[in-house]
């Protein structure tokens, strides 16, 4: 998995908030009855709308209630047509007065608005009719039915509507809803659960796809409240789904990470994840976990909460399946595992040892990864091999982990994959071994004298189609020599035909690789020049060094190590002759005035050596 782990998820919106099932007529009935009913409803609707206009003017509440019931029936039967009619007759303009009256009709009025606002074409008219301020006002009442219908109405008006959101923002609706959620969070009675679900949905529709409104919710402190809901209401499927969608949206914002880190979100998500059997639900949780796992503090909390073990279980359950959803889940679980075990190599250089990686090795994760890999040596799943090897490579970055991992037998298991023909697996295998032997002389000697390994490396050094594998093979060959400084390793590499590849590596366009090659070649020359002489001549080593020293683009380290290497090969007659024939003395004496003091000093030493031997 590449270093960049940012995933873009489709933003989730709660959708239109469903209506309550009171006095709902089920259609279709028998065609003849159906037709009569439609005519009746159409007539009744027109009557009701006229009566409503008159009654609301003179405040007759009984006739108003009858009209509202009729409207609700008509909306249940044909929402779109009824909404159009309500719009034509100018009924929306009467709603603010009806809402402000606050009597037994109020929940029905709010319910009608919620139903009407299910239609996109009705949302702006609702805002223009001035419905938002009186609806927000109703959020201050205690009646649960009014709160429920008001929450639905506001949520539906905000759905995908910029005007709706701005109006709710201006009226301060989100703040009141957030406070309600906070004060109701601990109550577990079913009616409250329903209200909480509607309120969370309303906040989702209000802030969806809008960074500044999401940031506003975060600064109101909704994250700790929602995490609390997840803990208290884990039995309430609708509400937990709502919380997950909310987390998925909010977790994309950097500013949310700090708040998430101060809650027990990691424990709650892992607990919820363990309970899930449905693929869809696991996916929802994955979508929250991925952006959260990019944060170092939360990453550690997730590991402590046992997420890696959960992911390993998912891998075990899905690895042999061909079902599309299992394949997807396997990939997500593997990617997430790598993300959790990611150590940052550049940071490592600055601060020896990454607390996360050290902590993880101490929790016994390495053993689990090795068991997983062991099951996938023969005809294994490439996704799993790649993920587990990536994880091991990252865990091997801190120096203190290397010896622990070597003791755990990591190199033995990794070597089993030498026969893999899959470049991504080859690449990760090489990287893991290179990380493991860094500064570990005994391990480098043990691996460097392993003829099978060295032969495979030499073969991969020629993998022209796979630059990554080729580069890593060269780097591992060089590392085996540099970290072991052992004559036996040098001899194994010479006999395996590795010298010419190290000479080629010295001409790489990457300075770090050039340097690694030159240091390894210097050790070969110092430890076993006689044995390497033929290969050095055959690979045109002296011409390569001449080119590196005369090229003004060569870095100071490259010039320095090239001169060290020239001094090391002077003991060989054929190489010495080549050095003389290429007039190295002139090149080296020019470097005595090099701006880099170390290079200049090495140039005068090298010049003395060449003069003495000429």
DSSP-assigned letters across all residues of 334-371: HHHHHHHT---HHHHHHSSS-HHHHHHHHTTHHHHHHH
Q: What is the pLDDT of residue 6?
A: 32
Residue 177's nearest CA partner among 154, 156, 143, 208 is 154
Asked if residue 105 lies in contact with residue 65, where contact means CB atoms within 8 angstroms, the answer is: yes
Q: How far apart are CA 398 and CA 409, in angstroms?
A: 17
SS (H, E, C) 516-554: HHHHHHHHHHHHHHHHHHHHHHHCCHHHHHHHHHHCCCC
The two tokens of residue 190 are 């079913």
State the DSSP H helix or E strand holding residue 45, giving kind and residue range, or none if neither.
helix 31-58
Q: Which residue has the tokens 């290429």?
A: 582
Q: Kindly give the residue spans of alpha helices, DSSP state H, lying in 251-306.
A: 254-261, 265-275, 279-292, 296-304
Torsion (CA) 490, 492, 495, 500 in degrees, nearest 10: -50
Helices 79-88 & 106-116 angle (0-180, nearest 10): 110
pTM over the 0.95 mark? no
State the DSSP H helix or E strand holding residue 583, giving kind and residue range, or none if neither.
none
Q: What is the pLDDT of residue 29?
A: 37
Q: How far apart are CA 371 and CA 316, in angstroms?
A: 11
Q: How far apart are CA 336 and CA 209, in angstroms?
A: 24
Q: Which residue has the tokens 């892992």?
A: 270
Per the document, the length of the chain is 614
Q: What is the chain's Cα-based Rg?
A: 36
Q: Which long-range contacts (CB under 8 A, 24 or more apart) does 344-352 make?
A: 345/397, 348/397, 348/398, 352/398, 352/399
Q: Which residue positions in the chain have pLDDT lower than 50?
A: 1-13, 19-37, 343-353
pLDDT digit string (tens) for 574-596? 999 998 888 888 889 999 999 99
In order of 13, 243, 579, the CA distances from 180 in angstroms are: 21, 15, 85
In the chain, what is the straight-line distance between the N-terminal and C-terminal CA atoms, in Å? 54
Q: What is the pLDDT of residue 346?
A: 33
Q: Kindly give the residue spans of alpha helices, DSSP state H, lying in 78-119.
A: 79-88, 95-101, 106-116
Q: What is the pLDDT of residue 116?
A: 95
Q: How far apart are CA 74 and CA 38, in angstroms?
A: 9
């Amino acid at each position: 998995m590449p270093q960049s782990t940012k995933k873009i998820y489709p933003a989730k919106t709660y959708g239109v908030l469903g209506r309550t099932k009171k006095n709902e007529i089920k259609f279709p009935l028998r065609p003849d009855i159906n037709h009569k009913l439609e005519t009746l409803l159409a007539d009744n609707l027109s009557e009701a709308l006229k009566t409503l206009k008159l009654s609301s003017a003179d405040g007759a509440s009984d006739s108003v209630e009858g009209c509202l019931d009729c409207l609700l029936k008509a909306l249940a039967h044909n929402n779109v047509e009824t909404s159009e009619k309500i719009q034509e007759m100018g009924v929306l303009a009467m709603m603010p007065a009806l809402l402000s009256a606050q009597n037994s009709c109020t929940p029905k009025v709010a319910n009608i608005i919620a139903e009407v606002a299910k239609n996109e074409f009705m949302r702006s008219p609702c805002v223009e009719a001035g419905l938002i301020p009186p609806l927000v006002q109703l959020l201050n009442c205690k009646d649960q039915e009014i709160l429920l219908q008001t929450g639905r109405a506001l949520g539906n008006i905000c759905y995908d509507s910029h005007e709706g959101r701005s109006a709710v923002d201006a009226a301060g609706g989100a703040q009141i809803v957030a406070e309600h959620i906070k004060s109701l969070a601990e109550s577990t009675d079913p009616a409250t659960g329903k209200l909480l679900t509607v309120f969370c949905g309303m906040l989702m529709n209000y802030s969806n796809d809008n960074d500044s409104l999401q940031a506003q919710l975060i600064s109101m402190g909704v994250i700790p409240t929602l995490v609390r809901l997840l803990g208290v209401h884990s039995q309430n499927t609708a509400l937990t789904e709502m919380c997950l969608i909310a987390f998925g949206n909010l977790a994309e914002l950097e500013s949310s990470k700090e708040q998430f880190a101060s809650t027990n979100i990691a424990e709650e998500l892992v607990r919820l994840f363990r309970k899930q059997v449905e693929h869809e639900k696991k996916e929802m949780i994955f979508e929250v976990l991925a952006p959260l796992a990019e944060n170092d503090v939360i990453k550690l909390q997730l590991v402590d909460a046992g997420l890696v073990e959960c992911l390993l279980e998912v891998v075990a359950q899905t690895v042999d399946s061909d079902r599309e959803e299992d394949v997807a889940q396997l990939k997500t679980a593997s990617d997430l595992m790598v993300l959790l075990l990611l150590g940052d190599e550049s940071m490592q250089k600055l601060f020896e040892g990454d607390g996360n990686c050290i902590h993880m090795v101490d929790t016994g994760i390495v053993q689990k990864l090795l068991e997983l890999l062991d099951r996938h040596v023969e005809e294994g799943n490439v996704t799993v091999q790649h993920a587990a090897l990536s994880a091991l490579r990252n865990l091997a970055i801190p120096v203190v982990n290397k010896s622990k991992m070597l003791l755990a037998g990591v190199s033995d298991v990794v070597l089993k994959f030498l026969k893999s023909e899959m470049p991504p697996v080859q690449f990760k295998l090489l990287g893991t071994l290179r990380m493991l032997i860094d500064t570990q002389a005994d391990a480098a000697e043990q691996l460097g004298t392993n003829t099978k390994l060295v032969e495979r490396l030499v073969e991969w050094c020629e993998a022209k189609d796979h630059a990554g594998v080729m580069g890593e093979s060269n780097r591992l060959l060089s590392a085996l020599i540099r970290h072991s400084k052992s004559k036996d390793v040098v001899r194994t590499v010479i006999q395996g035909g590795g010298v010419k590849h190290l000479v080629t590596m010295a001409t790489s366009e990457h300075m770090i690789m050039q340097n690694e090659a030159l240091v390894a070649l210097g050790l070969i020359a110092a430890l076993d020049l006689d044995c390497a002489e033929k290969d050095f001549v055959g690979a045109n080593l002296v011409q390569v060094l001449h080119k590196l020293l005369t090229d003004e683009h060569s870095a100071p380290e490259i010039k320095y190590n090239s001169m060290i290497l020239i001094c090391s090969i002077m003991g060989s007659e054929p190489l010495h002759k080549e050095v003389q024939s290429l007039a190295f003395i002139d090149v080296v004496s020019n470097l005595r005035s090099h701006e880099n003091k170390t290079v200049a000093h090495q140039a005068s030493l090298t010049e003395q050596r060449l003069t003495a031997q000429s």
